[in-house]
């Protein structure tokens, strides 16, 4: 069983991610809230009111407990009475509406029956879709995926399209990224490969985002563009409350509520029947919030 090894590594990665984001922002710093509950412990690291980042959160948890009936159904668990789970989850909400929201999660789940798996992903939610930046973002993720297995980016990209989707809006959450879940190591070699992949993904996350943040952090914006940012954040909230598996798992496993809802933006809004006028940047952004877009070649 590899739970302790993974947890130790993920805790170190969390701290490294926070250091990189602090250095990039240059103004604020993370506060660390070490916590412990009946099922485990963790560290919640939160960053607010930075120069370029309005809110960032990087959460680490290592928990154990009994498999509830809700968990058994939602995670398709056939055997096992107890579980151990550890992971990192992160969200970044920028100040400038021309900079995107981003999310990353890597996790490991282990059952006392001997079954285990990895999951995770990275995705990008621009308030305004920039085709060049979206294409570059996907190219960076493909380069992380390629060493794991040729063609795996394509599979994980489709998985992200299907997962980061709001069916009640008929919109994707953003320009997608990659997503994977229940990827089980069949032997020690495969475990090492998957474990290394999740580490590489976590390491790439701040590097990729900082590049996009720096390109957009100082752009001028209007009050109307800021209001559009609030509306798009509202869509983000809808996804997290209605569909996000991490949120559901955290609540089903009686996790720490404050940490579960860390991904929420500091401010968001909803406006009745907001429909952007044709020809506007807002309408153009909505046109790109669809599944099955080949982001790697969208500007070819």
> Looking at residues 228-244, what average pLDDT do you find?
95
* DSSP conformational letter for 276: P
Question: 73 Cβ partners below 8 Å, 6+ apart?
Answer: none
Q: State which fold the 3-297 domain adopts.
A: oxygen-dependent coproporphyrinogen oxidase (3.40.1500)
Q: Which long-range contacts (CB under 8 A, 24 or more apart) does 251-257 make?
A: 252/68, 252/70, 252/71, 252/74, 253/39, 253/63, 253/65, 253/68, 253/71, 253/83, 253/85, 254/37, 254/38, 254/39, 254/65, 255/37, 255/39, 255/61, 255/63, 256/35, 256/37, 256/42, 256/44, 256/61
What radius of gyration do the chain's Cα atoms show? 19
Q: What is the pLDDT of residues 54-98, one digit of tens each?
A: 999 999 999 988 766 666 666 666 666 688 899 999 999 999 999
- The reported pLDDT for the residue numbered 77 is 66
CB 173 within 8 A of CB 165: yes
- Residue range 16-27: average pLDDT? 98
Q: In this structure, are residues 17 and 58 in contact, taking their beta carbons and an 8 Å threshold?
A: yes
Residue 187: the pLDDT is 83
Out of 109-118, 137-146, 196-205, least confident range: 109-118
pLDDT greater at residue 187 or residue 298: 298
Please report the pLDDT score of residue 72 as a whole number.
Answer: 64
168 is catalytic: no
Helix (H) or strand (E) holding 213: helix 188-216
Compute the average pLDDT of residues 150-167: 97
Instruction: Give 59's strand partners.
Output: 44, 89
Write down the catalytic residue from 93, 98, 103, 127. Answer: 103
pTM for this entry: 0.93
**Tokens in use for 40?**
């485990």
For position 237, what pLDDT does the model report? 95
Higher pLDDT, 167 or 79: 167
Q: Which among 89, 27, 25, 296 is positioned nearest to 176, based on CA atoms?
A: 296
Enclosing H/E stretch for 212: helix 188-216
Instruction: Return the residue matching tokens 């989850």.
Output: 89
> At residue 281, does pLDDT exceed 70?
yes
The pLDDT of 166-172, averaged and rounded, is 96
Q: Are 46 and 117 in contact (CB under 8 A)?
A: no
Average pLDDT over residues 31-43: 90
Contact call for residues 283 and 277 (beta carbons, < 8 A): yes
Confidence of residue 224 (pLDDT cuts 50, 70, 90): very high
pLDDT value, residue 163: 96
For the segment 36-58, the average pLDDT, to the nearest whole number, is 94
Instruction: Give long-range contacts, CB 8 A cutoff, 24+ apart: 20-25.
Output: 20/206, 20/207, 20/210, 21/47, 21/53, 21/56, 21/58, 21/92, 21/206, 21/210, 22/47, 24/52, 24/206, 24/210, 24/213, 24/214, 25/50, 25/51, 25/52, 25/53
Nearest one of 46, 80, 48 to 64, comparing CA atoms: 80
Residues 6+ apart with CB under 8 A from 163: 121, 179, 243
On average, the pLDDT of the chain sits at 92
User: Which of 236, 262, 287, 272 is closest to 100 using CA atoms?
Assistant: 236
Give pLDDT, residue 12: 97
What integer pLDDT is reported at residue 23 of this predicted model? Answer: 98
The reported pLDDT for the residue numbered 249 is 72
């Amino acid at each position: 069983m590899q739970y302790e090894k993974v947890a130790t590594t993920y805790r170190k990665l969390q701290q490294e991610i926070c250091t990189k984001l602090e250095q990039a922002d240059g103004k604020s710093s993370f506060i660390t809230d070490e916590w412990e509950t009946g099922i485990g412990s963790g560290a919640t690291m939160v960053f607010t009111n930075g120069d370029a980042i309005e809110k960032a959160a990087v959460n680490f948890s290592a928990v154990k407990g009994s498999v509830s009936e809700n968990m058994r159904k939602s995670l398709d668990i056939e055997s096992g009475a107890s579980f151990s789970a550890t992971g990192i989850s992160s969200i970044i909400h920028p100040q400038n509406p021309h900079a995107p929201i981003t999310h990353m999660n890597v996790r490991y789940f282990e059952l006392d029956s001997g079954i285990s798996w990895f999951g995770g992903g990275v995705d990008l939610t621009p308030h305004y879709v920039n085709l060049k930046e979206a294409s570059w973002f996907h190219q960076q993720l493909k380069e992380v995926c390629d060493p794991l297995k040729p063609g795996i980016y394509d599979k994980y990209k489709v998985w992200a399209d299907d997962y980061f989707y709001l069916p009640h809006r008929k919109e994707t959450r953003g320009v997608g990224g990659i997503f994977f879940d229940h990827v089980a190591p069949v032997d020690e070699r495969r475990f090492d490969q998957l474990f290394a992949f999740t580490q590489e993904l976590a390491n790439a996350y701040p590097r990729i985002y900082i590049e996009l943040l720096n390109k957009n952090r100082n752009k001028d914006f209007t009050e109307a563009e800021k209001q559009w940012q609030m509306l798009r954040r509202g869509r983000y909230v809808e996804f997290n409350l209605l569909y996000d598996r991490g949120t559901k798992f955290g609540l089903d496993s009686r996790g720490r509520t404050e940490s579960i809802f860390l991904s929420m933006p500091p401010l968001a809004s909803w406006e009745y029947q907001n429909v952007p006028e044709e020809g506007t940047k807002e309408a153009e952004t909505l046109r790109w919030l669809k599944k099955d877009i080949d982001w790697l070649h969208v500007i070819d």
